Structure 1
Amino acid sequence: MLREIDNFYLTKEEPVKGCLLALRDIILNYNSMLEPAWKYRLPCFMYGNHIFCYLWVDKKTQQPYIAIGKGRHIEHPELIQGNRTFVKLLMIDLQKDIPVETIYTIFDKAMKLYGGNI
Protein backbone atom coordinates (compact mmCIF):
# COMPACT_ATOMS: atom_id res chain seq x y z
CA MET A 1 0.00 0.00 0.00
CA LEU A 2 1.30 3.44 -0.95
CA ARG A 3 1.95 6.09 1.65
CA GLU A 4 -0.07 9.29 1.29
CA ILE A 5 3.01 11.28 0.36
CA ASP A 6 3.84 8.84 -2.45
CA ASN A 7 0.23 8.82 -3.57
CA PHE A 8 0.31 12.64 -3.88
CA TYR A 9 2.98 12.44 -6.58
CA LEU A 10 1.88 9.28 -8.34
CA THR A 11 -1.77 10.22 -8.82
CA LYS A 12 -0.94 13.38 -10.78
CA GLU A 13 -1.00 13.36 -14.56
CA GLU A 14 1.94 14.34 -16.74
CA PRO A 15 3.52 16.85 -17.07
CA VAL A 16 2.58 17.88 -13.50
CA LYS A 17 3.67 14.53 -12.08
CA GLY A 18 7.15 14.69 -13.62
CA CYS A 19 7.56 18.31 -12.56
CA LEU A 20 6.62 17.58 -8.94
CA LEU A 21 8.98 14.60 -8.79
CA ALA A 22 11.80 16.73 -10.22
CA LEU A 23 11.04 19.49 -7.69
CA ARG A 24 11.16 16.93 -4.88
CA ASP A 25 14.63 15.87 -5.99
CA ILE A 26 15.80 19.48 -6.40
CA ILE A 27 14.62 20.29 -2.87
CA LEU A 28 16.20 17.21 -1.32
CA ASN A 29 19.47 17.86 -3.15
CA TYR A 30 19.62 21.42 -1.82
CA ASN A 31 20.47 20.46 1.75
CA SER A 32 20.86 17.06 3.40
CA MET A 33 19.09 18.42 6.52
CA LEU A 34 15.77 18.74 4.63
CA GLU A 35 13.50 15.77 5.27
CA PRO A 36 10.30 14.90 3.36
CA ALA A 37 7.19 14.60 5.50
CA TRP A 38 3.42 14.43 5.09
CA LYS A 39 1.97 17.27 7.20
CA TYR A 40 -1.46 18.89 6.98
CA ARG A 41 -2.18 16.70 3.93
CA LEU A 42 0.74 18.34 2.09
CA PRO A 43 4.11 17.03 0.89
CA CYS A 44 6.36 19.12 3.12
CA PHE A 45 10.10 19.41 3.51
CA MET A 46 11.14 19.85 7.09
CA TYR A 47 14.19 21.57 8.52
CA GLY A 48 14.27 20.27 12.05
CA ASN A 49 10.74 20.63 13.40
CA HIS A 50 9.82 23.44 10.99
CA ILE A 51 8.24 23.37 7.55
CA PHE A 52 10.87 24.78 5.20
CA CYS A 53 8.66 24.48 2.12
CA TYR A 54 5.94 22.38 0.56
CA LEU A 55 4.72 21.48 -2.91
CA TRP A 56 1.24 21.96 -4.27
CA VAL A 57 -0.68 22.44 -7.52
CA ASP A 58 -2.89 25.48 -8.14
CA LYS A 59 -6.46 24.24 -8.55
CA LYS A 60 -7.39 26.75 -11.26
CA THR A 61 -4.26 26.75 -13.43
CA GLN A 62 -2.93 23.26 -12.59
CA GLN A 63 0.47 24.95 -12.22
CA PRO A 64 2.80 23.41 -9.62
CA TYR A 65 4.39 25.65 -7.04
CA ILE A 66 6.76 25.66 -4.10
CA ALA A 67 5.38 27.38 -1.01
CA ILE A 68 8.23 28.84 1.01
CA GLY A 69 7.84 28.70 4.78
CA LYS A 70 8.64 32.06 6.38
CA GLY A 71 8.32 33.41 2.85
CA ARG A 72 6.73 36.61 4.08
CA HIS A 73 10.21 37.63 5.23
CA ILE A 74 11.84 37.02 1.83
CA GLU A 75 12.02 39.57 -0.94
CA HIS A 76 12.46 38.11 -4.41
CA PRO A 77 10.75 39.20 -7.64
CA GLU A 78 9.59 35.65 -8.46
CA LEU A 79 7.78 35.13 -5.16
CA ILE A 80 4.06 35.77 -4.90
CA GLN A 81 2.45 36.71 -1.57
CA GLY A 82 -1.18 36.93 -2.63
CA ASN A 83 -3.52 36.77 0.35
CA ARG A 84 -1.35 34.33 2.26
CA THR A 85 -0.14 35.26 5.71
CA PHE A 86 3.05 33.27 6.16
CA VAL A 87 4.19 31.73 2.89
CA LYS A 88 5.07 33.05 -0.53
CA LEU A 89 4.78 30.97 -3.67
CA LEU A 90 7.21 30.25 -6.46
CA MET A 91 5.09 29.23 -9.42
CA ILE A 92 6.66 26.71 -11.82
CA ASP A 93 5.93 27.14 -15.53
CA LEU A 94 5.42 23.71 -17.08
CA GLN A 95 6.40 25.11 -20.48
CA LYS A 96 9.89 26.11 -19.30
CA ASP A 97 12.86 24.47 -17.64
CA ILE A 98 12.66 24.37 -13.85
CA PRO A 99 14.56 27.45 -12.56
CA VAL A 100 16.94 25.60 -10.23
CA GLU A 101 19.20 28.63 -9.67
CA THR A 102 16.20 30.77 -8.69
CA ILE A 103 14.94 28.07 -6.34
CA TYR A 104 18.32 27.77 -4.65
CA THR A 105 18.71 31.57 -4.38
CA ILE A 106 15.35 31.75 -2.60
CA PHE A 107 16.23 28.74 -0.45
CA ASP A 108 19.50 30.43 0.58
CA LYS A 109 17.48 33.40 1.86
CA ALA A 110 15.00 31.09 3.61
CA MET A 111 17.74 29.02 5.23
CA LYS A 112 19.15 32.14 6.89
CA LEU A 113 15.75 32.68 8.54
CA TYR A 114 15.94 29.20 10.05
CA GLY A 115 19.52 29.75 11.22
CA GLY A 116 20.63 26.81 9.11
CA ASN A 117 23.74 26.02 7.20
CA ILE A 118 23.59 26.48 3.47
Structure 2
Amino acid sequence: MKEVDDFYENSKLPFKETLFALSEIILRQDKEITNVLKYGMPFFCYKKKMFCYLWIHKKLNQPYMGIVEGKYFDESFLIQENRSRMKIFLFDPQKDLPLQEIELIIQKAINLYKTGIVKV
Protein backbone atom coordinates (compact mmCIF):
# COMPACT_ATOMS: atom_id res chain seq x y z
CA MET A 1 0.00 0.00 0.00
CA LYS A 2 1.31 3.45 -0.90
CA GLU A 3 1.83 6.14 1.73
CA VAL A 4 -0.92 8.23 0.15
CA ASP A 5 -3.37 5.33 0.63
CA ASP A 6 -2.42 5.25 4.32
CA PHE A 7 -3.27 8.95 4.54
CA TYR A 8 -6.87 8.31 3.46
CA GLU A 9 -7.21 5.19 5.61
CA ASN A 10 -5.92 6.98 8.71
CA SER A 11 -7.98 10.15 8.25
CA LYS A 12 -10.57 10.77 10.94
CA LEU A 13 -14.29 10.71 10.39
CA PRO A 14 -16.17 12.65 9.08
CA PHE A 15 -13.28 13.89 6.91
CA LYS A 16 -12.19 10.45 5.70
CA GLU A 17 -15.12 9.94 3.33
CA THR A 18 -14.94 13.50 1.99
CA LEU A 19 -11.20 13.31 1.32
CA PHE A 20 -11.47 9.92 -0.33
CA ALA A 21 -14.39 11.06 -2.53
CA LEU A 22 -12.48 14.19 -3.54
CA SER A 23 -9.45 12.11 -4.51
CA GLU A 24 -11.62 9.87 -6.70
CA ILE A 25 -13.21 12.89 -8.39
CA ILE A 26 -9.83 14.51 -9.04
CA LEU A 27 -8.18 11.34 -10.37
CA ARG A 28 -10.93 10.62 -12.88
CA GLN A 29 -10.60 14.04 -14.55
CA ASP A 30 -7.53 13.11 -16.62
CA LYS A 31 -5.41 10.00 -17.11
CA GLU A 32 -2.24 12.07 -16.55
CA ILE A 33 -3.19 12.89 -12.93
CA THR A 34 -1.36 11.04 -10.18
CA ASN A 35 -1.75 11.14 -6.40
CA VAL A 36 1.36 11.30 -4.20
CA LEU A 37 2.08 12.13 -0.58
CA LYS A 38 4.18 15.30 -0.18
CA TYR A 39 4.64 17.35 2.96
CA GLY A 40 2.40 14.82 4.74
CA MET A 41 -0.62 15.57 2.54
CA PRO A 42 -2.02 14.11 -0.68
CA PHE A 43 -0.93 16.13 -3.70
CA PHE A 44 -2.27 15.64 -7.19
CA CYS A 45 0.11 16.08 -10.07
CA TYR A 46 -0.50 16.62 -13.75
CA LYS A 47 2.43 15.22 -15.71
CA LYS A 48 4.44 15.26 -12.45
CA LYS A 49 3.68 18.94 -11.74
CA MET A 50 1.73 19.58 -8.50
CA PHE A 51 -1.57 21.34 -9.18
CA CYS A 52 -3.80 20.66 -6.16
CA TYR A 53 -3.84 19.01 -2.75
CA LEU A 54 -6.23 17.99 0.01
CA TRP A 55 -6.05 19.03 3.64
CA ILE A 56 -8.05 20.00 6.73
CA HIS A 57 -8.40 23.70 7.60
CA LYS A 58 -7.08 23.97 11.14
CA LYS A 59 -9.18 26.95 12.27
CA LEU A 60 -12.43 26.05 10.49
CA ASN A 61 -12.01 22.27 10.94
CA GLN A 62 -13.19 21.57 7.38
CA PRO A 63 -11.61 19.59 4.56
CA TYR A 64 -10.48 21.56 1.56
CA MET A 65 -8.90 21.29 -1.84
CA GLY A 66 -5.98 23.64 -2.33
CA ILE A 67 -5.32 24.89 -5.85
CA VAL A 68 -1.59 25.53 -6.32
CA GLU A 69 -2.08 28.17 -9.03
CA GLY A 70 -5.24 29.60 -7.46
CA LYS A 71 -4.11 33.14 -8.26
CA TYR A 72 -5.37 32.52 -11.81
CA PHE A 73 -8.93 31.80 -10.61
CA ASP A 74 -11.68 34.25 -9.70
CA GLU A 75 -14.50 31.89 -8.65
CA SER A 76 -16.32 33.25 -5.60
CA PHE A 77 -16.20 29.91 -3.77
CA LEU A 78 -12.38 29.89 -3.72
CA ILE A 79 -10.71 31.53 -0.74
CA GLN A 80 -7.35 33.33 -0.86
CA GLU A 81 -6.73 33.91 2.88
CA ASN A 82 -3.08 34.95 3.42
CA ARG A 83 -1.76 32.98 0.48
CA SER A 84 -0.14 34.76 -2.46
CA ARG A 85 -0.35 31.92 -4.96
CA MET A 86 -2.82 29.31 -3.72
CA LYS A 87 -6.55 29.38 -3.11
CA ILE A 88 -8.67 26.84 -1.29
CA PHE A 89 -12.10 25.32 -1.79
CA LEU A 90 -13.72 24.43 1.56
CA PHE A 91 -16.16 21.53 1.93
CA ASP A 92 -18.75 20.70 4.57
CA PRO A 93 -18.41 16.97 5.29
CA GLN A 94 -22.09 16.87 6.28
CA LYS A 95 -23.23 17.96 2.80
CA ASP A 96 -22.98 16.51 -0.69
CA LEU A 97 -19.90 17.57 -2.60
CA PRO A 98 -20.50 20.23 -5.29
CA LEU A 99 -19.39 17.99 -8.14
CA GLN A 100 -19.89 20.53 -10.93
CA GLU A 101 -17.74 23.17 -9.21
CA ILE A 102 -15.03 20.64 -8.30
CA GLU A 103 -14.80 19.37 -11.87
CA LEU A 104 -14.76 22.93 -13.23
CA ILE A 105 -11.82 23.91 -11.01
CA ILE A 106 -9.86 20.74 -11.76
CA GLN A 107 -10.31 21.19 -15.51
CA LYS A 108 -9.31 24.86 -15.28
CA ALA A 109 -6.22 23.93 -13.26
CA ILE A 110 -5.19 21.25 -15.74
CA ASN A 111 -5.74 23.68 -18.62
CA LEU A 112 -3.19 26.05 -17.09
CA TYR A 113 -0.58 23.36 -17.74
CA LYS A 114 -1.97 22.23 -21.08
CA THR A 115 -1.98 25.77 -22.48
CA GLY A 116 1.48 26.58 -21.14
CA ILE A 117 0.39 29.35 -18.74
CA VAL A 118 2.10 27.24 -16.10
CA LYS A 119 5.09 25.23 -17.30
CA VAL A 120 5.01 21.45 -16.98
**TM-score normalised per structure 2:** 0.87
Aligned residues: 115
CA distance in 1, matches of 2:87, 2:32: 21
Identity %: 40
Residues 78, 89 of structure 2: 8 Å contact kept = yes
2:33 corresponds in structure 1 to: 34
Structure 1, gaps ≥5 residues long? none
1 or 2 for the larger relative contact order (CA 8 Å, sep ≥6)?
2
Q: In 1, distance between residues paired with 2:26 and 2:84?
A: 23
Q: What value does the CA root-mean-square deviation take over the aligned residues? A: 1.4
Residues 13 and 40 of structure 1: CA distance in aligned 2, closer, same or farther (over 3 Å): closer
2:102 is aligned to: 103
User: How far does residue 62 in structure 1 lie from its aligned partner after superposition?
Assistant: 2.2
Shift of 1:14: 1.6
- How far 1:65 sits from its partner (Å)? 0.3
Q: Which amino acid aligns with 1:60?
A: K
Deviation at 1:55, TM superposition (A): 0.4
1:33-52 matched pairs, under 5 angstroms: 33-52=32-51
Match of 1:115 in 2: 114
The Cα offsets for residues 14-66 of structure 1, whole Å up to 9 and x where unpaired, read as: 21101111111011111111001112222111011311110001122321000
Aligned-pair CA distance for 1:6: 2.0
State TM-score, norm by structure 1: 0.89
Question: Given the alignment of the two structures, is residue 14 of structure 1 paired with residue 29 of structure 2, yes or no?
Answer: no
Q: 2:4 matched to 1:5?
A: yes
CA-to-partner distance for each residue in 1:56-92, whole Å, 9 max, x for gaps? Answer: 0112232100001211111111100110122110001
